[in-house]
Amino acid sequence: MKAYKQFIDGALREPHSHGVIEVENPFTQKIAATVPNGDAEDGKEALQAAAAAQPAWAARSAVERAGILKTMAATIREHRVELAKILMEEQAKIAPLAQVEIDVTAEYFDYYAGWARIYEGEIVQSDRPTENILLFRKPIGVSVGICPWNFPFFVMARKVAPALLTGNTVVIKPSSLAPNTIMAFAELLAKRDLPKGIVNFVTGAGATLGEYLVRSPVPGIVSLTGSVEAGQKVIAGTAENITKTSLELGGKAPAIVCADADLDLAVKAIVASRVIFSGQVCNCAERVYVDKKVEDQFIAKVRAAMKAVTYGDPATAPDMSSQIDRNQQKKIAEMVERASKDGAEILVGGQIPETKSGYFFEPTVLGGCRQDMEIIRQEVFGPVLPVVSFTNGLEEAIALANDCDYGLTSSIFTTNLGNAMLAMNRLKFGETYINREHFEAMQGFHAGWRKSGVGGADGKHGLFEYLQTHVVYVQW
């Protein structure tokens, strides 16, 4: 069985005597590998290495730093197939999606390498005729990145690429549920001639290692992708040192289907957005609001589409595979059961299927839902699609969509330009997709409102997350 090591200060290190974390393959339900169960000792060593390396790293030109990002991209491409296999095995991600994640991660490093000659400061007009005001954008220092289990490898790049390019050094803590691909990448980087300490990968539990990293005075920024509860802990942990946070948290994305919508397009996009990685994506379509005039037609089409969704062995490329673990499977089943008892009608699925292995939950459609139901208000993070109808026009649908603690993504399906414009001006979400599936672009800005987070990632604004301003007044 593969046993990964910590990657600190440019070298693989044997773990301290704190035991290991066993990483389960959710499909086979067998242990795929082990990683160190690191704690404060590992965190301290990683932060010290990053802090020691940061001044010299920041002193290099951005173009030189971009060269390291290109090396990382090339390393991923050279090992793209084996990395995709590891990703598939550690989280039951279907093979095509696993390969896409690996390939897009390489593109992401190249994308941010391209920013080396582009990002800039400003010259601000002064009130004094013999003065210039210069605004510099400078690195924050050491960045701590805490990665999720659903897209661990890609999100790792989100936290490494812009930080390194802008002169920061990085400590990454992968999720204990899916650390293998990141740690395999660390093994590959150990064989490259990279500056020591600029990027460090350490594994361990959130309550020990994560807590230490977040509460340490060393980081200038802590970036987390995870649950609202995890984000609240990060905010509490960083409060004493007033450490900057960048948080992408949960989502409860609404999809609005207007009476004039292309229903076939709407169904295709919504189902794709609901079952990608078994519904375990924060920007998935989590609830549907359909105009009562076309509700019956929409329900008939979406039932057929969800019933046709295939699931099984991720290596055989079904539409989806299992949930990440038994806890997630149980949570989904209990939420569907409560929704049924509260009056929702199970139109498709609704059960844990009988399978030889894997934490599966059937693709599910729930009709007759109400706005006050838990299934409409709380994140399911599974292949369950609750449907609510509206009767008083688009304004009502937008009000229902906005009536939510979360604010990450949203969508509308309409052939009416006025409807589309009204939605994009009134929906209170970080992203809105019109007549397409929920999936962001690396040159955009993936950021949420309300409890969906603080700050964001991708594009120019994602780069600025890792920079702080320094204004200089030059009188002559």
What is the crossing angle of helices 95-113 and 152-165, to 10°?
0
CB-based contact 210:203 (threshold 8 Å): no
For range 440-456, the mean pLDDT: 88
Query: Are the beta carbons of 123 and 135 closer than 8 angstroms?
Result: yes
> Tell me, what's the pLDDT at 206?
85
Model pLDDT, residue 184: 96
pLDDT band for position 263 (cuts 50, 70, 90): very high
The pair phi, psi for residue 271, each rounded to 5°, is -65, -45
Name the CA dihedral angle for 344, 348, 351, 357, rounded to a multiple of 10 degrees: -150
Residues facing 123 on adjacent strands: 134
How many whole angstroms separate alpha carbon 183 and alpha carbon 178?
A: 10
Q: Active site includes 258?
A: no
Q: What is the pLDDT of residues 118-148, one digit of tens each?
A: 999 999 999 999 999 999 999 999 999 999 9
Q: Which residue type, as a one-letter code, is found at position 462?
A: G
Mean pLDDT of 323-351: 94
pLDDT for residue 290:
97
Beta-sheet strands, E only, within 292-393: 345-348, 364-367, 384-390
User: How much is the pLDDT for 444?
Assistant: 84
Catalytic position from the list 147, 282, 284, 369? 282
Please check the confidence at residue 461 and state whether its pLDDT lies above 80: yes
Where residue 55 falls among pLDDT bands split at 50, 70, 90? Answer: very high
pLDDT value of residue 18: 77
Average confidence (pLDDT) over 17-37:
91
**Global confidence as pTM:** 0.91
Top pLDDT among 218 and 282 is at 218
Q: How far apart are CA 443 and CA 429, in angstroms?
A: 18
The token pair that represents 107 in the structure block: 């593109």
Output the pLDDT for position 283: 87
pLDDT tens string 66-110: 999 999 999 999 999 999 999 999 999 999 999 999 999 999 999
What's the rounded mean pLDDT across residues 222-247? Answer: 92
Mean pLDDT of 144-170: 96
Average pLDDT over residues 268-275: 93
Q: What percent of the chain has pLDDT over 70?
A: 100
Of these residues, 45, 90, 211, 248, which one is catalytic?
248
User: Can you give the length of the chain in residues?
Assistant: 476
What pLDDT shows up at residue 74? 97
Q: What is the pLDDT of residues 393-428, one digit of tens each?
A: 999 999 999 999 999 999 999 999 999 999 999 999
Q: Is 282 a catalytic residue?
A: yes
How confident is the model at residue 447, as a pLDDT? Answer: 85
Burial category of 171 from C-beta neighbours within 10 Å (exposed 0-12, middle 13-18, buried 19 and up): buried
Separation in Å, CA 9 to CA 171, 179, 206? 10, 19, 21
Q: Which residues contact 423 (CB under 8 A, 6 or more apart)?
A: 256, 394, 398, 410, 412, 414, 432, 434
Q: Is the pLDDT of residue 15 over 80?
A: no
Provide the greatest CA pair distance for the chain: 79
**pLDDT for residue 155:** 95
| pLDDT value of residue 250 | 86
- On the 0-12 / 13-18 / 19+ scale of CB atoms within 10 A, 395 is exposed
Distances (CA, A) of 191 to 76, 87, 350: 13, 21, 48
Q: What is the pLDDT of residue 104?
A: 95
Q: What pLDDT is attached to residue 1?
A: 81
Average pLDDT of span 212-224? 95
**Mean per-residue pLDDT for 466-472?**
97
